[in-house]
Structure 1
Amino acid sequence: MERRNLLRAAVLGGSAAVFGGTLWRGAAYAAPAQPGTGPYGPLGSPDANGIRLPSGFTSRVIARSGQRVSGTSHTWHNAPDGGACFADGTGWIYVSNSEISSTGGAGAVKFSSSGTITGAYRILSNTNRNCAGGATPWNTWLSCEEVSLGYVYETDPWGTNAAIRRDAMGRFNHEAAAADPVRKVIYLTEDESNGRFYRFVPTTWGNLSSGTLQVMVAGSGTSGSFTWANVPDPDGSPTATRSQVSGSKSFNGGEGCHYANDTVWFTTKGDNRVWQLNLTSNTYELAYDDSLVNGTAPLTGVDNITGASSGDLFVAEDGGNMEICVITPDDVVASFLRIDGQSSSEITGPAFSPDGTRLYFSSQRGTTGSSSGGITYEVRGPFRA
């Protein structure tokens, strides 16, 4: 799973996760990542926010559920979940879902070039358990409902245009989305114990109003080749989308999804795995599996995932010991940060600022263990390019 030189340009001049650089060039079916010394060194003592960070990194609280975002009149939503950053002139915007039934939606925080908060507002309201999602190359946020027969909503991070429900992207227990500008598709995960991995092929790239929903077809193993098949009834009724195509591959609890340079990674929480699809060869393999780790697995509760311009993958834990772990291009997995005193929560929404120097994420239930106790953080430091 060699990813050296995978990413060399991150979110510049636009805000979606569209990456350039040299192509993935490792041997197929390499061994999954193993524990080792990470690129940032050991974690230090908890800081004032209860976060253990490597030397040179600092944290600050951006927002708390039920409280006004500093310097604004906007009250931050409960249960903050999936997120992404969007370039905004010299500054940027961080969007965050709300995994609350019936009134979920999504909110946004706007930053100046110095990182000062300049605004906060709602971009989606009155939707259902908005869990994860993904950014598009045309600067919109896809907010996904994690319910049976859930929808995808396309939203405006600037809060100017009304959100649009994208029915053609299928109705199922949506989790995350990742845009692939090369093949002009959107990948989608499904949070079911027998969920599937999908892609949506728009009729016109940049317009999600119509298109074809497809599902991954492959064998039962952890590596091999795959193809795509059309889902006959994307509305999921009367037969669930995951049950419509014979030979479609089952995944145990699809979670985060990330695309870069002809590769898409996605996580499955039911078996603590990170899967890798090599899109030029149409092959798949394991990038990480905690059951295959030599010794103690540093990454458990595998959940949201994002990538840095260095090619490092950052994987957040739902449970585990409340860490974000890094998987390097050399297939080393190590702890990057840990939140102390919040064992009844989960880490959600990891996303880098456009310049790659700040990492945003949330503790969904904070110190209280309740959805009303969510905390959204920023970590700043010498992330490697």
Structure 2
Amino acid sequence: MNTISNVISDSNSLPVSGPRVVALALACGLAVATLYYNQPLLPAMAAGVGSGPSAQGAITMLTQIGYALGLLLFGPLGDRLDRRRLVACLIPANIAGLVLSATASSLAWLLAASMLVGVTGVTAQIIIPAISSLVAPAKRGHTVGCLMSGLFAGTLLARTLSGYVGEHAGWRTMFALAAVIDVLLFVVVWLCLPANRPSSDMPYSELMVSLGLLFVREPLLREACLAGFLLFGALNVLWGSLALMLQRPPYSWGSDLTGLFGFVGLAGMLASTKIGRLADHWGARNVVSIAAILVILSFSLIAASGYCLALLVLGAIGLDLGSRANLIANQTRLYGLQPEVRGCLNTVFMISYYVGGAIGSIGGATVGGQYGWIGLGVVGGTCGTLALVAGHLVRLSEPVPVSRDRSHG
């Protein structure tokens, strides 16, 4: 039986130039945007298929559950197949999901289309480990940070674009436009993502089993999964409910103004490469702890944002920055853990990450609808507190070996 370490050397890796990284950062942004077009549009989407506010959380939840499922199904294949050909198959399927969303006539159809968009929207999580394997360890954090800047730009611009288009042309038009944007994504990936030889020769079934083995054997992976689950869940407590909350008094905003809220992520996007360098030089675990503290402080502001828009803006900025720091720091240390199975490591981490996001989305929509901003503050702040406490307990119970302190500690 093959083992996780039974690998094939990737002897035909291509140099990763600055322009190639920039182009692939753009691809990451375009790919991940499909997950976030719906967030400012949730009230209009639910109303458009004859459903009430309860459907809003379900749309976001199923998109992210689909994304986690896509990572489980396709993430491990990044270690076994040519990644460029893999994403060339996924993107057309993603286009189909967007077209189905644009033409959905019932809630069931819309939910099914949302899940398909999520399942096939994993291109960015195939690109990132592919490129991280081609750079020197000392530059890995910086390169991952550059790719994540593109990914974060995609989340930011997706919300802003969809909010504007949805308000002035309708949410169905936005999903049709998204399908056209996906065609551009296909071209960029095909031209810029290097073809690669597989880094693993395990059968697919054994590769799937290896995901569980990695989780059992690697305490750093378990630690990263828990932090990702809690802190991305906290982010989605806000974003899963934001359109609903801003639609109500005292704000009474439409989707165009809600979409502008995506710009709160600009500071975090610009800080992404610096976060990557900080993880390289100071230790990823310390960065994750700071991220948890930022989340806690941010939700203390969000809890009072029903009385002051400035508090909501400041809280959202801090929350976004904390979530970005958590993701970049955890991915940086995981990519240096077992280079030959980066795709599998990334898959396990991102599954936990997006399952947390899905639970946060439905939880935020439910709590926000019943208990308002204070309820969101309590739930999100609790997630941040649990992440901080859990990280401290792991630090005490599972000390990192000296050889990994710099990268992971």
Q: Whose strand fraction is larger, Structure 1's or Structure 2's?
A: 1
With the length of structure 1 as denominator, give the TM-score of the two structures. Answer: 0.22
Greater RCO (CA < 8 Å, at least 6 residues apart): 2
| Greater Rg over alpha carbons, structure | 2
With the length of structure 2 as denominator, give the TM-score of the two structures. Answer: 0.21
